[in-house]
Amino acid sequence: MKIRILLCVFLPLISITELYCQKSGKKITISGFVVDVTATPVADAIILIDGEKTGKITDSKGFYKIKVRPENKKIGVCTSSGGIIEEVINGRKNIDFTFKVSIPYQKTDPENEPIDIGYGKVKKKDLMVPVGKIDGTKSKYAGYNTIYEMIRGEVPGVEVNGTSIIIRSATSINSGTDPLFVVDGVPVTTIDNILPLMVKSIEVLKGSAASIYGSRGSNGVILINLLKGSDK
């Protein structure tokens, strides 16, 4: 009888405590170092949370720092030559990683820098009129009222008439002439809702660089990357 009374008293308290922790949603900061089998720091390793990319990478000393939600289970790191290794978080705030192979440091050639175009990657040198980074916080972009005005004023190799965009020299096999728009790696049907101050960069693809999209890329592709909170 006493045991039943105690269970009736303490079980609700445990449930309330768990519910509070879940609702509080306070993020946890995890940090650590990433090295290879020779104990050499691994720079530019991509940080993963529950198997998803986070946009965070290790610095030149192999150090990383990231905030995770209480419900996240695993943290991992990924490199092209070392693959993926993961660790269970389980409340840990310091997690180091060691690849079982040597990870050579490769200085990125800007012209060979891979650009994520949603369905794969192409080298920057294969892009038509690479625009590079457009800092939406600069005052020069505040003068544009729409994304179409911004493209007409800042992106060479295109013709803009109202909300219609034509990429010069793009061979069309479709009935329309509008290019395919890809925002943050995702193809979209319109860019009307994008403000100039939201834009981080714009890239224009045509020909073989756009062929990865099949017939949808026959009119060319305009890649738009938006500013994230960490960019501002």
Residue 16 lies in a domain: no
33 band by pLDDT with thresholds 50, 70 and 90: very high
pTM recorded for the entire structure: 0.46
CATH of the domain at 89: 2.60.40.1120
DSSP assignment, residue 94? B
Domain count, the chain: 2
Q: Which of 107, 141, 173 is the last residue of a domain?
A: 107
Q: For the chain, count helices (H), then strands (E).
A: 2, 15
d(CA 217, CA 101): 39
53 band by pLDDT with thresholds 50, 70 and 90: confident
d(CA 114, CA 214): 19
User: Sign of dihedral through CA atoms 201, 207, 210, 215?
Assistant: positive
State residue 81's pLDDT score: 78
State residue 205's pLDDT score: 81
pLDDT at 95 over 60: yes
* Residue of 57, 182, 203 whose CA lies nearest to 124: 203
Neighbours of 64 (CB within 10 A): 24
Residue 183 lies in a domain: yes
Residue 4 lies in a domain: no
Residue 12 lies in a domain: no
* Residue 137, domain extent: 110-231
Q: Considering the chain, what is the average pLDDT of its residues?
A: 76
